[in-house]
Amino acid sequence: MKDLLILYYDSQNRCTIAIEADGTIHTLPEKPVKWLRRWCVEAGSSLEGRLEGYRKKMGIVQKPALYIGGYPPLIFIPTVSMERDDCLYLRADRIHKITSVDGMAVVCFDTGVVYRLPVCARSLRQQRNRSLQYLEMLSGLR
């Protein structure tokens, strides 16, 4: 599962849903934060360390992107606070375009997958742009 597009919690079934770029859907026990925490540690840092690094470099406090690492690098943007069960995590570097239709964000991934989300498209575009700037910043450090 290294080519994820979306990660979210299914509160009815009490599991995490992970959707890959090829459309494969995985169900994982527990909440997404558990998996994100585990993947961060496997990549060599803690979830808190990754979030703090992003906050310091980008000057962002709310809804920071989560850089996990790897190649291609996994970087997710949360749609709401990570503490909320209705938070979706979107793979920022795989988003092709974000538009707004009837007050909902329409997220088009580079695979052709399209999702309509009940969030602000403008805010989501800003999050995506900042996360891509962060990736560029990190690649400049290597």
Give residue 60's pLDDT: 86
Contact 104, 124 (CB under 8 A): no
Q: What is the pLDDT of residues 48-107, one digit of tens each?
A: 999 999 999 999 888 999 999 877 788 999 999 999 999 999 999 999 999 999 999 999
Q: What is the pLDDT of residues 11-49, one digit of tens each?
A: 999 999 999 998 899 999 999 999 999 999 999 999 999
DSSP helix/strand/coil, 82 = coil
Give residue 109's pLDDT: 95
Cα dihedral sign for 35, 36, 39, 45?
negative
pLDDT-above-70 percentage for the chain:
98
| Nearest CA among 29, 27, 22 for reference residue 2 | 22
Q: What is the pLDDT of residues 105-127, one digit of tens each?
A: 999 999 998 999 999 999 999 99
Q: Give residue 1's pLDDT band: very low, low, confident or very high (50, 70, 90).
A: low
Q: In what order do the strands lie in the sheet with 15-20?
A: 25-29, 15-20, 4-10, 88-91, 74-78, 66-69
DSSP helix/strand/coil, 90 = strand
Would you kindly state where each structural domain of the chain is located, as residue ranges? 4-140
Contact 120, 105 (CB under 8 A): yes
Question: In angstroms, rounded to a whole number, what is the distance separating the alpha carbons of residues 117 and 101?
Answer: 10
For the whole model, what pTM was predicted?
0.91
